[in-house]
Amino acid sequence: MKVYIIGAGPGDPDLITVKGLKLLQQADVILWTDSLVNEALINRAKPDAEVLKTAGMTLEEMVDIMAERVKQGKVVVRVHTGDPAVYGAILEQMVLLKQQGIEYEIVPGVSSVFAAAAALGAELTVPDLTQTLILTRAEGRTPVPEREKLKDLASHHCTIALFLSATLVKKVVEDFLAAGWRPDTPVAVVYRASWPDQKIIHSTLEQLADDMRENGIRSHAMILAGWALDPEITDKNQFRSKLYDAAFTHRFRRGVSS
């Protein structure tokens, strides 16, 4: 028996994986992050499942409950928002579970970064423009290691996804500009991606702070920056991958010779 650490997806209850949903429906005990996971998803559990909110618990309380229930032979599911591997604080849970001799398995989920890209209709890795996506956060109360400062990451001029940064946009903009980004670089913000009250803002570096303030966005937002977010990119027909290029031979298709 083990603890299943499941990604709930970004909000829409249909965006959980089939595997995650099956486990949720089999679970005897469910611990869920009530501040970010959609209750409509948790309501798909068995009617007699023990459902516990974790927002008010300490790490030790949470792990003790999981370990105890597993030892009682119960199916225990810990539900995290998005994908558990990204800012999920799962490592500390796994460390303590391991100390208690409890195994765990992670079931991935749709991260908010990809729900936001979907909401925007964006490809984040555009051929000839950028082939790199950096997932990071601005430095606030939680420190960021010295070698990962936003200004240094931004020097790559790729697509940058910022989690947990909605209240720190002034500093974010300063760092991007210091790294040589143009003030008119596109920035898209998706508030509560995939929820019924989802909001999308197309902005630029120079407008970002004002646009966030005017829209009252201070949390639960994914900020995506870089030219892949150009709202007019679909009118340009400028960037093509090699994959479907008639002259490009690959394992599944021979090139067309002229």
Ligand X SMILES: C[S@@+](CC[C@H](N)C(=O)[O-])C[C@H]1O[C@@H](n2cnc3c(N)ncnc32)[C@H](O)[C@@H]1O
Q: Does 221 bind ligand X (CB under 6 A)?
A: yes
Q: Which of 24, 27, 37, 88 contacts ligand X by CB under 6 A? A: 88
Q: Does 13 bind ligand X (CB under 6 A)?
A: no
**Residue 221: CB minimum distance to ligand X, A:** 5
Distance CA 204, CA 40 (A): 35
Q: Does 81 bind ligand X (CB under 6 A)?
A: yes
Cβ distance 151 to 123 under 8 Å? no
Q: Does 194 bind ligand X (CB under 6 A)?
A: yes
Of residues 67, 69, 84, 79, the one with CA closest to residue 29: 69
Distance CA 256, CA 160 (A): 36
Q: Does 78 bind ligand X (CB under 6 A)?
A: no
Judged by CB under 6 A, the number of residues near ligand X is: 23
Q: Which of 64, 68, 87, 136 contacts ligand X by CB under 6 A? A: 87
Cβ distance 154 to 181 under 8 Å? yes
Site string for ligand X, 19-58 (x = CB under 6 A): -----------------x----------------------
Kind plus residue range of the DSSP H or E element containing 3: strand 2-7
User: Nearest residue by C-beta to ligand X?
Assistant: 82
Q: Which is nearer to ligand X, 149 or 199 (CB)?
A: 199
Contact residues for 194 (Cβ-Cβ < 8 A; gap 6+): 9, 10, 11, 12, 15, 115, 118, 119
* Strands, sheet with 221-225, edge to edge from the N-terminal-most edge strand: 133-137, 159-163, 221-225, 186-191, 199-204
Binding site for ligand X (CB under 6 A): 10-11, 36, 81-83, 86-88, 111-112, 115-116, 163-164, 190, 192-195, 220-222
